[in-house]
Amino acid sequence: MNPEILLIAEPHEEWPQHVMELTEGRLVALQLDPQAPPASDTRLESVRVLVGAPHDAARWVGRCPKLEWIQSTWAGVDALASQIPGHVVVTPLKHVFGQAMSEFVMGWILSIERRVITRATASKWDSSPEPGVLGKTMGILGTGSIGQAVAQAAGQFGIRCKGLNSDGHSVPGFVKCYTARDPEFFNDLDYVVSVLPKTDQTTHLINSVSLSTLPKDSIIVNIGRGNAIDDEALLTALKKRKVKAAVLDVFDQEPLPESHPYWLEPNVYVTSHTAAPTMTRLVGQAMANNLSRFIEGKPLVDVYEPTKGY
């Protein structure tokens, strides 16, 4: 068999079937289990397209000499970045995470502000009111498709949203956008939500200085990459009750080590990189337009840019 498109996925994964249907009659496709070696008669010299998670795809890049395009099944491509040949185009998974990420962010903020978790485990009557979220301010680090989806969802609850991006350009859904590392961004934020990718420029944007400018009882949510947060600074802010709670889905090291102090902090909620667990089923949907462009010899869109890191 001489496949033109190689799908690296475990047998239980859903997305390969959708991609197979998409490529039927257009490209010869082959699915390989990343945990098993290919059959002896499998030849990869004809592979032009590789689809898989970044860490899986990285192991196969060198075996596909005619490779032209890698479609990642993740939004981030950190594990693949150093393995990309100069002539190969990479497209991260985009435009499919907004719904799940918005559900996650608003679900957690509402559960904390309305004391859902506390009331669910209550053993005595407590009629004290909760503040709710109406009129609060959310700062979203990252104003791409995910950040915009979160802002739209937050707006439905009467939350005012500010954005942070590389150059401060205006984005619909945000009352104002700020340039990265502009200290004024954090001044009045009740909620800080990071959806940032991992780059040198995004490291420790949430640090001791930015945390010190937040109003008391703010909530931190990180669904982007772990490098955005200075862990020691956040732990200090939590212990001093400057920050009311932190919902952390991503970390510099995953799985988060059992010895990490986050596990012992009562107001930290570790969610184990589950903010958007099922979106890989939409890989076919995400790559449909680019597949047609690839077959027609047109430039692909939503391409990974190494200088930006996403």
pLDDT tens figures, 277-302: 767 778 998 899 999 999 999 999 99
User: Above pLDDT 90, what percent of the chain?
Assistant: 85
* HSE (side-chain half, CA atoms, 13 Å) at 306: 12
- Give the model's pLDDT for residue 36: 82
Does the structure show a pLDDT above 70 at 166? Answer: yes
Strands (E), 129-217: 137-141, 160-165, 176-179, 191-194
Alpha helices by DSSP H, listed for 191-230, are 208-212
Examine domains 5-95+278-295 and 98-270 and report if their fold is the same: yes
Which structure tokens are listed for 82? Answer: 């150093």
Query: What distance in Å separates the CA atoms of residue 94 and residue 169, rounded to the nearest whole number?
Result: 20
Percent helix / strand / coil, the chain, rounded to 5: 30, 15, 50
192 vs 74 pLDDT, higher one? 192
Looking at 3.40.50.720, 3.30.930.10, 3.40.50.1110, 3.30.300.30, the CATH number of the domain 5-95+278-295 comes to 3.40.50.720
Annotated active-site residue in 254, 260, 281, 305:
254
Q: What does the DSSP assignment read for 276-297?
A: STTGGGGHHHHHHHHHHHHHTT
Q: Which H helix or E strand runs over 154?
A: helix 145-155
Q: Which two tokens stand for residue 263?
A: 């596990």
Which CATH superfamily groups domain 98-270?
NAD(P)-binding Rossmann-like Domain (3.40.50.720)
Is 68 in the active site?
no
Please tell me which residue in 55, 273, 281, 293 is annotated as part of the active site: 273
Is position 21 annotated as part of the catalytic site? no
Would you list the domain boundaries of the chain? 5-95+278-295, 98-270
- Kindly report, residue by residue over 208-256, the tens digit of the pLDDT: 999 999 999 999 999 999 999 999 999 999 999 999 999 999 999 999 9
Please confirm, yes or no, whether 254 is among the known catalytic residues.
yes
